[in-house]
């Protein structure tokens, strides 16, 4: 198994997929699709660590990359694998869910936020726009004005804020 993922089977039909890249706060990877094909799995719970669900893309991988190189990475494969999953996907969020990590959570069918969860789209702080669907998914989840505030200011929101806005349950 990919060392960036830890898979557990806490109950019959349940696959717990835990992102495991603490050195980069669980930066995204592309190892999700296998669970959708597994007939013994009825629901997928996507989780990170206590410190971070997923802090988004590993920016060290993007520093010197030209746009064609970034496009060639086909990050859409990750989003498509979750969005087209035939099984319910639950994002169990504790700690940071920032940038691509927040977008990853929004691709799930449900977001369950622990008290320590912090959601945000801080890309604007480094001069880029969210690239994993936040401009559409966040707007649909919380409404235009909340989404614009989150994406234009780059400030994180707490689990209570996410619950109040309708992002988490």
Report, as residue numbers or ranges, the catalytic residues.
Answer: 57, 100, 103, 123
Report the run of H or E that residue 1 belongs to, with start and end: none
Nearest alpha carbon to residue 131 among 85, 168, 91, 99: 99
Give me 52's structure tokens: 């971070």
> Per DSSP, what are the bridge partners of residue 158?
118
Q: What CA–CA distance (Å, rounded) separates 104 from 162?
A: 15
Q: What CA–CA distance (Å, rounded) separates 124 from 150?
A: 10
Percent of residues in the chain assigned helix, strand, coil, to nearest 5: 35, 20, 40
Longest dimension (CA), the chain: 45
Q: What CA–CA distance (Å, rounded) separates 18 from 33?
A: 14
How far separated are the first and last CA of the chain, in Å rounded?
A: 31
């Amino acid at each position: 198994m990919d060392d960036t993922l830890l898979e557990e089977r806490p109950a019959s039909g349940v696959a717990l997929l835990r992102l495991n890249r603490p050195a980069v706060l669980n930066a995204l990877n592309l190892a999700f699709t296998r669970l959708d094909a597994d007939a013994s799995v009825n629901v997928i719970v996507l989780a990170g660590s206590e410190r971070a669900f997923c802090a988004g893309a590993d920016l060290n991988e993007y520093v010197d990359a030209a746009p064609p190189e970034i496009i060639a990475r086909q990050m859409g494969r990750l989003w498509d694998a979750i969005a087209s999953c035939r099984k319910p996907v639950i994002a169990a969020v504790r700690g940071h869910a920032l940038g691509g990590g927040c977008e990853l959570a929004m691709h799930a069918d449900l977001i369950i936020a622990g008290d320590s969860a912090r959601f945000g789209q801080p890309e604007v702080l480094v001069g880029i726009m969210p690239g994993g669907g936040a401009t559409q998914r966040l707007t649909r989840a919380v409404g235009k004005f909340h989404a614009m505030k989150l994406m234009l200011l780059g400030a994180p929101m707490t689990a209570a804020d996410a619950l109040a806005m309708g992002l988490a349950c």
